Amino acid sequence: MPVNQGNYEQIVKELAEKGVTLVAVSKTKPPEDIQTLQRLGQVDFRQSSVWMPRK
């Protein structure tokens, strides 16, 4: 399913208002989707494994 720009922008806006950063999971997505998100300003990508911040 291709990236829905309107939904993405709305989600990012709502999260930013709460001080939350969106982390995109890229493991099974095609390169075109990742490139689209990068053009929209997404910079945090992870694989589908659990990721915990370092303390």
pLDDT tens across 10-54, in order? 999 999 999 999 999 888 889 999 999 999 999 998 876 666 666
CA-based torsion, 3, 10, 21, 39: positive or negative: positive
In the chain, domain spans:
5-46
Residue 25 phi, psi dihedral angles, 5° rounding: -95, 120
Q: Taking the C-alpha atoms of 12, 18, 23 and 29 in order, what is their torsion angle to the nearest 10 degrees?
A: -40
Question: In this model, does residue 6 exceed pLDDT 80?
Answer: yes
pLDDT at 54: 67
